[in-house]
Each structure stands twice: as structure tokens, then as C-alpha cells.
Amino acid sequence: MVQFLVRRVLLMLLTLWAVSALVFTMSRIQGDPRTMFMNRGVTQEMWDAWGKEMGLDKPLPIQYMVWASKAVRGDLGDSLWERRAVTTAIFEKLPATVQLGFTTFLFSIGVGVPLGVLSAVHRGTLVDLVGRFIAVTGQALPPFWIGLMLILIFSVWLDLLPAAKKGGLDSYVLPTITLGWLFAASILRLVRSSMLNVLDEEFVKLARAKGVSNNMVIWKHAFKNAAAAPLTYSGLLLAGLCTGTVVTESVFGWPGIGRLSIDAVLQNDFPMLAGLVLLFTLLFIIGNLVVDIVLAFIDPRVRYA
């Protein structure tokens, strides 16, 4: 177990290093940072002085070290567009994303797990049909289109829910469904297929033969063993969550870090984008690490894989 943990953490550090080096390289390819402040009155002396001040006269590896050590201390420079520290802007927007992530989590589990179990148990019935419909659409519907169609139906035509601007609880409904559709669908498919496998196993048949009630067999014996399956895929789900967050926040004008990323892209605000990439990667890696540890506790096979 200890060896497993050490390995995972080392890999995590390696990844962070690779990403930061990549981001740094990209930021240098993007252009000389001094050109951002270029205007008519700049002389060669001022230009050189800036270079010295920003450390641009040193070799690139040294520049990277300086940049990285600042980044570790939470100093990612100033946003070009908002004229303030990148970290300040990011931490101002982070809560909205976390809140939406939380409701999405509840929604996907709440829809995906019960429907997955039911469509496995009642295979071939109407419930299964609904489940499979959600599964297919979740995989194939473009998330931005789901969002727009929800706005069209519930805000424009029925006038029931707000279409944009974060506000009360009702403003969470449409973004949550938009972001959660894919995850509900993925969870549903994973739960369904692992339930189908488990229901076919000997110990379930034994429980049935002993006369255990149907509900007990399904929820206690089978589901408990099928529940780990979606966890093993949560790495993929997390990747989808990053993409989904950017898209959903863009559709609904949600004031979170996904929207901030796309704004940074459209405004060519590279320091901001670099900070967001590092943050997303960090969150993503930590998420994966937590899942791996939980899995290793549940399932000993993972530790030796």
C-alpha cells in the first residue's frame, strides 16, 4: 500500500512538472512578454531595463525556475485583461464552479445509479428503454446544444426557469442538467453493465435460492458489489467534467473558472490561461489520486496492478 501511494504521488509530481514546463514553453512561444506593454515612447534602454527586471536576460531554464518557484508560492503574475493578479481572479470565480460541480454530482448520482440498477434488473422493459435513451443521448448529444435546447424549452417557451445569470436555486437547474446529463448517462451505463454481470454470479443465485427477498438481493448483495465499477472510470469522468464545465459555463454565462478560461482564450490573456491550466490540472490530478486511493482500499487488486 505504501509503495502504491509513493508511486502515485511521484507520478503526480512528474505530471505537474511536465505540465508546468509545457505551459512555460507555450508562454514563451506566445511571444516576448514585453510586447504586451509596447507603445510609442519605448526606447531601447527601457526595453533592456524591462528585460533585466523581468529576468529575460537569463537563460530559459533559469527563467523557468524563477517562474515555477513563484508559481508554487501562488504568484502567477498579472492578468493582461483584468489588470490584477491571476490568482485573485481565479479564486474569486472558483466558488461558482464548485457549487455547480456539487449540484451536478448530486444530480448524476441521483439519476444514474437508480436508473442503472433498475434498467439492469428490469432488462428489456420500459425502464430499461428510458435508461438506454439517456445513455445514448448522453454519449452523443453535444453538451452546448443540450443547454441551448433546455433554455429554449424551459425559459423561452414555458418561461419556467431562468436562462442565465447565477442567482437563486432555480438558476442552478438548467446548468446542472446540462453538465450532469453526460455523467448521469455514463454512471447509468457503468452501473447497468456491472449490475448485469453481478446478477449473473453464483453468490447472487445462492442468495435467491436461500429465499432472500428480491429487494435485498438487488440492493444489498448485488448493488454493493456493482458500485465500485463506476469508481474505476471516474478518471475519464473527471476529464469530461473539465470539458463540460467550460462548455456549460459558456452557455449559461456562469461566473466560474470555466467561463474565465474561455474568456482568457478569446482575449488572448495568456498569464490567466496558464494559471487556469495549472489549477485545472492540479484539481484533476488530486481528484484522480483520491479515487485511486479509495479504490485501492476497496479493491486490493488495484494496488498491484
Partner 1 sequence: MQSGDVNATEASALFESNGDSWRSSLRRIRRWPLLSIIILATLVFSAAAADFIAPHDPVKATLSARRAPLMWEEGGSSKFILGGDLQGRDVLSRIIHGARISLMVAGSSIVIGMVFGTVYGLISGYFGGWIDEILMRIVEIFLAIPLIMAALVILVVAGASYMSVIGVLVLFSWVPFARQVRAETLALKVLDYVSLARVAGAPAHRILVRHILPGVLNTVIVVATLQVGSLILTESILSFLGVGIPPPTPAWGAMVADGRNYLASSWGIAFFPGMAIFLTVVGFNFMGDWIRDALDPRLRQLD
- Residue ranges in contact with partner 1 by CB under 8 A: 11-12, 14-15, 18-19, 22-23, 26, 29-30, 136-137, 139-145, 148-149, 151-152, 156, 189, 200, 235, 238-239, 242-243, 246-247, 250-251, 261-262, 265-266, 268, 270, 273-274, 276-277, 280-281, 284-285, 288
CB of residue 174 to partner 1, shortest distance in Å = 13
85 forms bridges with which residues in the sheet? 78
CB of residue 274 to partner 1, shortest distance in Å = 8
DSSP characters for 29-64? Answer: HT--GGGGG--TT--HHHHHHHHHHTTTTS-HHHHH
**Three-state DSSP class for 142?**
coil
CB nearer to partner 1: give 49 or 235: 235
In whole angstroms, what separates CA 3 from the centre of its chain? Answer: 28
CB nearer to partner 1: give 70 or 205: 205
On the CB side of 42, CA atoms within 13 Å amount to 14
Query: Angle at the Cα of 158 (from 153 to 160), degrees rounded to 5?
Result: 100
What is the identity of the amino acid at 15? T
CB of residue 30 to partner 1, shortest distance in Å = 5
CB of residue 107 to partner 1, shortest distance in Å = 21
CB of residue 277 to partner 1, shortest distance in Å = 5
CB nearer to partner 1: give 183 or 270: 270
Give the three cell numbers for residue 83: 489588470
CB of residue 143 to partner 1, shortest distance in Å = 7
Residue 126: other Cβ atoms inside 10 A: 9
Is the distance from CB of 115 to CB of 131 less than 8 angstroms? yes
Residue 233 φ then ψ, to 5°:
-100, 5
CB nearer to partner 1: give 42 or 137: 137
CB nearer to partner 1: give 60 or 136: 136
- Residue for grid cell 533592456: 48
Give the three cell numbers for residue 295: 479504490
CB nearer to partner 1: give 65 or 277: 277
